[in-house]
């Protein structure tokens, strides 16, 4: 899918928001939802999405919703730092398939980096162990 196009109500994150698909939730408020990435690039890889916007990418979101989104990204990043003590945190966001986007509902990645640990592939590899993701999510939640 290109940078420009129609929002698909049946994308996986829209289904997660509607409760039609499960997720390992870290945080939720009226406007945003944070949950564990099921193909984590590193331990603690978390995604943050707006709940009420039909925005596929950064270009399509309203400024208010974007402000709320980045506010939650900061909040979760701080909790990840407290909970997991990474050596660094990468915050990324892709717009359009050629840029690396694979799910077309706006989202931001929070990817903790640990010295000496190689970053896993993007949206690839084996699905994470759900018990492990739940343990990580609990740690992050406790630090919120």
* Catalytic (active-site) positions: 107
| 7 lies in the binding site for ligand 5GP (CB under 6 A) | no
| 84 lies in the binding site for ligand 5GP (CB under 6 A) | no
Q: Which stretch binds ligand 5GP (CB under 6 A): 3-11, 54-62, 70-78, 96-104?
A: 96-104
Query: Considering CB under 6 A, how many residues would be counted as binding ligand 5GP?
Result: 13
Instruction: Report the residue from 39, 65, 71, 91 that binds ligand 5GP according to the rule CB under 6 A.
Output: 39
Q: Which stretch binds ligand 5GP (CB under 6 A): 1-9, 35-43, 52-60, 66-74?
A: 35-43
| 101 lies in the binding site for ligand 5GP (CB under 6 A) | yes
Distance CA 59, CA 99 (A): 13
| Secondary element (H or E) of residue 32 | strand 32-36
Count of C-beta atoms within a 10 Å radius of residue 22: 11
Distance CA 8, CA 106 (A): 12
83 alpha-carbon distance from chain centroid:
17
| 27 lies in the binding site for ligand 5GP (CB under 6 A) | no
- Maximum C-alpha span of the chain: 41
CA distances from residue 2 to 96, 108, 109, 138 in whole angstroms, order as listed: 5, 18, 20, 36
| 103 lies in the binding site for ligand 5GP (CB under 6 A) | yes
Binding site for ligand 5GP (CB under 6 A): 12, 23, 35, 37-39, 47, 94, 100-103, 123
């Amino acid at each position: 899918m290109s940078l420009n196009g129609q929002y698909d109500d049946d994308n996986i994150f829209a289904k997660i928001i509607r409760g039609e698909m499960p997720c390992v939730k870290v945080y939720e408020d009226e406007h945003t939802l944070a949950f564990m990435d099921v193909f984590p690039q590193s331990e603690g890889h978390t995604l943050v999405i707006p709940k009420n916007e039909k925005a596929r990418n950064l270009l399509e979101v309203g400024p208010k919703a974007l402000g709320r989104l980045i506010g939650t990204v900061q909040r979760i990043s701080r909790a990840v730092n407290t909970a997991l003590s990474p050596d660094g945190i990468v915050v990324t966001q892709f717009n359009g398939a050629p840029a690396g986007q694979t799910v077309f509902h706006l989202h931001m990645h929070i990817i903790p980096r640990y010295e000496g640990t190689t970053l896993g592939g993007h949206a690839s590899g084996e699905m994470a162990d759900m018990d492990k993701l739940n343990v990580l999510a609990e740690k992050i939640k406790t630090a919120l």
